[in-house]
């Protein structure tokens, strides 16, 4: 999908828009997010060449 959007408008900035989960691309960090199986791999999804930036949410306090 990112390639398609860039083929139409290569000046349009693209972002994935995911909740950040560590997945199989960073196995040593799975203990940080033990529920990684229910999310998507934030790192590998943002390494797509056509993705221009990533966003994160910081929650310094427990909700």
- In this predicted model, what pLDDT tens digit does every residue of 4-31 receive, in sequence order? 999 999 999 999 887 767 666 777 766 6
What are the beta bridge partners of residue 53? 15
* Closest alpha carbon to 23 in 13, 5, 35: 35
In degrees, rounded to 5, the angle at the alpha carbon of residue 63 between the alpha carbons of residues 59 and 45 is 45
pTM: 0.66
Domain ranges of the chain: 1-8+18-62
> What's the Cα-to-Cα distance from 7 to each of 22, 49, 52, rounded to whole Å?
30, 13, 14
What pLDDT was estimated at residue 35? 61
CB atoms within 10 A of CB 26: 16
Q: Is the pLDDT of residue 62 over 70?
A: no
What pLDDT shows up at residue 28?
73
Residue 15, φ and ψ in degrees, nearest 5? -140, 150
Mean pLDDT of 31-57: 79
| pLDDT score of 32 more than 90 | no
């Amino acid at each position: 999908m990112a390639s398609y959007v860039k083929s139409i408008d290569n000046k349009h900035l693209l972002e994935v828009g995911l909740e950040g989960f560590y997945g199989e691309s960073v196995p040593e960090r799975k203990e940080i997010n033990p529920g990684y199986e229910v999310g998507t791999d934030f790192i590998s999804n943002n390494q797509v060449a056509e993705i221009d930036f990533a966003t994160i949410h910081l929650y310094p306090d427990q909700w």
